[in-house]
């Protein structure tokens, strides 16, 4: 039996949604930004929202305003986002209506929500993955967020997750036994391949998540018959271990009973469900794609027959009386009008704040610890990464490592995770399926619940399936949540060519990655930098991609012996954005104007050092170490000093990061240059050939570099 007060609240909110929708439609010049309303979906959304706890997590999608109202948000707060006002509590005017995020203690948590349908399923499943991990932690491994062993404790204040938010809400939703996750999506979005990746993982790991699929028969102008071979309920049958149920999502009573039963089962048994709710679409797809553009009168009339509002109104009137309900409706209309007027009058965002929250501040700003402690042995780069992660996992039980083949059976295809699985167990170091999108995107949810995931993509060439998640979810999360949800993750990516790796195991991907704003990118060239940057990346609350040249892992490539270094101390940390001069020109050459500054990174450092041997002190080599942030101060100061500059990269040259950097150098240092800034990169062909001779013909090397530098010195 549903409490009468809850029924009255449900009707009040359902009627509020109608009035809000009518208000928006009547004020189209004011509500000019694209938006959707939840008309036709109200019953299932409210029935779900009413049963959630503050310790739960939910990902509403862009038609879920009723769910937000049911969780406690006011029409005024939603209107602030609709009108892109500065006080929009979710994104500060940066995103669309019903694109929430929240860490409010009295409401369920909501990670950043994007418009890309289906893309939210992986990050939200990542939340459930994080909750599952927290539920499995033993008493001896208990995760105390913010309380860590040295050296991390100096960087994280007690009571936080380490995800500093630059003054925004820093409340952390600690794990509570029985916490669940709701992922809301439309039936049309289930056809996305990334939805399958998430369902696979949820079933495999038996995660506490409910996929609430709202099926209104439309995917913009595409009907279910045109776009889907089966509905979500039928599709779910292919995932063994995924419980499923159908419900009439326009019937509040049925929806409440089904969701109550499913939610209770997930709380008790910690297993995944898919709820397929049949609903109707009463309004436009969005305010910009209007129903009259593509829907027939017959279709609209058919959907109107299932309108949840009149279906629910009749029993409410029978219970409370017509006069009482009509008086309440008039009150709702007056309240909505007043809140809309107040929202319209509120201030717009300050344009001066447009660049805030791209990142939250990192505590790592200085190089600390011993880079080359006396008595330590030299280590190769792959071991430096391994040792860094081992120390991080020993210091912080929030640190987890996963990806393809990283578990204890193999420890990574490069043995870069060797022994970690045996030491820390399957809960903290584990294999995933071949799911680059899930590996990358799940870190959003893992980070949100306070964990610190380190994940691996086997080769740079295989990162592209994860780009949807990297671009749509990870890179935008901090900015669009106003710092509430920076993604604290390290994504390790082996890159580079040597020894016949071929077209799918040799690619360099930095230019593609650098086109994404909101992520940081490291590219170490030696063991000490690898360890120091790995530590800096871990303590940075923002997302980091570590590009690791597999040709430098073991220093097997001739001339790369210097990639081996003394292993730094346990507390050694190298901040991002600090390049290094790894070889200086002589004072005499510099004063005579007979020097060239080579700016490079990764394998380029060793080509440059090898070439420098032919020029008797005329070459300076700068190792960038991180590509974003970039040490522009070092680069520009050294170029001004030398007057001649060459940017060296392993990537194909045309339209590369190296060419972009050369352009910035030319502009900034124009008056100091004695010659045009040169660039050397790989040949502009689509892939690295498998044959070793062809591979060598494609790549830069010391000999090719010597010829270009000699020409520059003659000019």
- In total, how many domains does the chain have? 3
Q: What is the pLDDT of residue 346?
A: 98
Q: What is the pLDDT of residue 150?
A: 35
- Per-residue pLDDT tens over the stretch 643-682: 999 999 999 999 999 999 999 999 999 999 999 999 999 9
Asked whether residue 613 is assigned to any structural domain, the reply reads yes
Q: What is the pLDDT of residue 147?
A: 33
Q: In this structure, are 554 and 587 located in the same domain?
A: no
Q: In this structure, are 490 and 547 located in the same domain?
A: yes
* Residues making up the chain, counted from first to last: 715
628: preceding bond cis by omega (within 30 degrees): no
List the chain residues with pLDDT less than 50: 138-140, 143-172
Strand 181-186 with 209-215, pairing? parallel
Angstrom distance (rounded) from CA 539 to CA 553: 23
CATH number of 601's domain: 3.40.50.920
Q: In this structure, are 421 and 539 located in the same domain?
A: yes
Q: In this structure, are 479 and 589 located in the same domain?
A: no
Q: What is the pLDDT of residue 414?
A: 64
Asked whether residue 399 is assigned to any structural domain, the reply reads yes
Of 344, 367, 386, the position where a domain reaches its end is 344
Strand 580-583 with 619-623, pairing? antiparallel
Q: In this structure, are 452 and 321 located in the same domain?
A: no
Q: What is the pLDDT of residue 651?
A: 98
Asked whether residue 318 is assigned to any structural domain, the reply reads yes
Q: In this structure, are 328 and 419 located in the same domain?
A: no
SS3 130: helix
Asked whether residue 361 is assigned to any structural domain, the reply reads no
Q: What is the pLDDT of residue 156?
A: 36
Q: What is the pLDDT of residue 146?
A: 37
Angstrom distance (rounded) from CA 343 to CA 81: 9
- Per-residue pLDDT tens over the stretch 175-193: 678 999 999 999 999 999 9
Q: Which two three-digit tokens encode residue 634? A: 């070092």
Which pTM does this prediction carry? 0.93
Containing domain of residue 21, as a range? 4-136+177-344
Q: In this structure, are 194 and 329 located in the same domain?
A: yes
Which value, to the nearest 10 degrees, does the dihedral of the CA atoms of residues 380, 386, 392, 396 take?
A: -170
Angstrom distance (rounded) from CA 621 to CA 601: 10
Asked whether residue 574 is assigned to any structural domain, the reply reads no
Asked whether residue 93 is assigned to any structural domain, the reply reads yes
Q: In this structure, are 587 and 534 located in the same domain?
A: no
Asked whether residue 354 is assigned to any structural domain, the reply reads no
- Per-residue pLDDT tens over the stretch 628-640: 999 999 999 999 9
Q: In this structure, are 68 and 200 located in the same domain?
A: yes
Angstrom distance (rounded) from CA 225 to CA 582: 63
Q: Which two three-digit tokens encode residue 478? A: 């901090």
Q: In this structure, are 192 and 90 located in the same domain?
A: yes
CATH number of 486's domain: 3.40.50.970
CA max distance for the chain: 97
159 dihedral zone (left: phi>0; alpha: psi -120 to 50; beta):
left
Q: In this structure, are 541 and 605 located in the same domain?
A: no
Asked whether residue 144 is assigned to any structural domain, the reply reads no
Q: Which sequence positions are flagged as catalytic? A: 505
Q: In this structure, are 273 and 246 located in the same domain?
A: yes
Count of CB atoms situated within 10 Å of the CB of 361 = 15
């Amino acid at each position: 039996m549903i409490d009468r007060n809850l029924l009255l609240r449900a009707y009040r909110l359902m009627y509020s949604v109608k009035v809000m929708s009518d208000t928006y439609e009547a004020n189209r010049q004011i509500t000019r930004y694209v938006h959707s309303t939840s008309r036709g979906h109200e019953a299932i959304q409210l029935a779900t929202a009413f049963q959630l706890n503050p310790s739960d997590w939910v990902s509403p999608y862009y038609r879920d305003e009723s769910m937000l109202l049911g969780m406690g948000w006011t029409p005024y707060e939603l209107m602030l986002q609709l009108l892109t006002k500065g006080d929009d509590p979710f994104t500060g005017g940066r995103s669309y209506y019903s694109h929430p995020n929240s860490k409010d203690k009295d409401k369920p948590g909501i990670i950043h929500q994007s418009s890309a349908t289906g893309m939210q399923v992986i990050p939200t499943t990542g939340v459930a993955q994080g909750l599952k991990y927290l539920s499995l932690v033993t008493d001896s491994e208990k995760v105390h967020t913010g309380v860590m062993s040295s050296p991390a404790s100096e960087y994280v204040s007690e009571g936080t997750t380490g995800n500093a938010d630059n003054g925004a809400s820093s409340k952390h939703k600690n794990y509570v036994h029985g916490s669940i996750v709701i992922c809301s999506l439309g039936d049309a979005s289930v056809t996305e391949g990334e939805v399958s990746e998430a369902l696979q993982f949820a079933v495999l790991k038996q995660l506490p998540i409910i996929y609430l699929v709202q099926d209104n028969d439309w995917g913009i102008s595409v009907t279910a018959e045109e776009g889907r071979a089966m509905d979500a309920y039928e599709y779910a049958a292919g995932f063994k271990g995924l419980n499923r149920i159908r419900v009439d999502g326009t019937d509040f009573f049925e929806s409440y009973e089904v969701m109550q039963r499913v939610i209770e089962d997930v709380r008790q048994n910690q297993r995944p469900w898919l709820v397929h709710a049949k609903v109707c679409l009463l309004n436009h797809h969005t305010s910009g794609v209007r129903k009259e553009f593509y829907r027939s009168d017959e279709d609209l009339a058919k959907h109107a027959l299932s309108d949840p509002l009149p279906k629910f109104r009749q029993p409410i009137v029978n219970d409370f009386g017509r006069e009482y309900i009509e008086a309440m409706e008039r009150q709702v209309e007056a309240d909505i009008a007043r809140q809309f007027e107040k929202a319209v009058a509120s201030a717009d965002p300050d344009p001066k704040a447009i660049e805030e929250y791209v990142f939250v501040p990192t505590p790592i700003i200085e190089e600390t610890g011993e880079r080359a402690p006396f008595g330590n042995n030299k280590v190769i780069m792959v071991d430096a990464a391994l040792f860094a992660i081992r120390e991080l996992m020993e210091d912080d039980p929030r640190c987890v490592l996963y990806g393809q083949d990283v578990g204890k059976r193999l420890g990574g295809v490069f043995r870069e995770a060797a022994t970690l699985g045996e030491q820390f167990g399957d809960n903290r170091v584990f294999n995933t399926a071949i799911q680059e999108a899930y590996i990358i995107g799940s870190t959003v949810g893992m980070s949100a619940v306070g964990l610190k995931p380190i994940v691996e993509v086997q080769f740079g060439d295989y990162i592209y399936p994860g780009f949807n998640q990297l671009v749509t979810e990870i890179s935008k999360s901090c900015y669009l949540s106003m710092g509430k949800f920076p993604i604290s993750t390290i994504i390790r990516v082996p890159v580079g060519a040597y020894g016949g790796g071929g077209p799918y195991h040799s690619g360099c991907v930095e230019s593609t990655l650098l086109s994404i704003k909101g992520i940081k990118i490291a590219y170490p060239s030696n063991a000490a930098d690898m360890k120091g940057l790995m530590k800096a990346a871990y303590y940075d609350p923002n997302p980091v991609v570590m590009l690791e040249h597999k040709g430098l892992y073991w220093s097997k490539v001739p001339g790369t012996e210097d990639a081996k270094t003394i292993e730094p101390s346990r507390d050694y940390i190298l901040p991002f954005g600090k390049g290094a001069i790894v070889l200086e020109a002589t004072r005499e050459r510099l004063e005579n104007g007979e020097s060239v500054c080579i700016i490079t990174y990764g394998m380029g450092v060793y080509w440059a050092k090898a070439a420098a041997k032919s020029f008797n002190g005329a070459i300076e080599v700068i190792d960038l170490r991180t590509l974003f942030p970039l040490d522009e101060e070092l680069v520009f100061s050294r170029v001004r000093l030398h007057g001649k500059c060459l940017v060296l990269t392993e990537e194909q040259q045309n339209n590369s990061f190296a060419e972009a950097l050369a352009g910035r150098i030319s502009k900034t240092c124009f008056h100091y240059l004695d010659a045009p800034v040169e660039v050397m990169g790989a040949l502009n062909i689509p892939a690295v050939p498998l044959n070793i001779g062809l591979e060598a013909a494609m790549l830069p090397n010391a000999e090719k570099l010597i010829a270009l530098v000699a020409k520059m010195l003659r000019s």
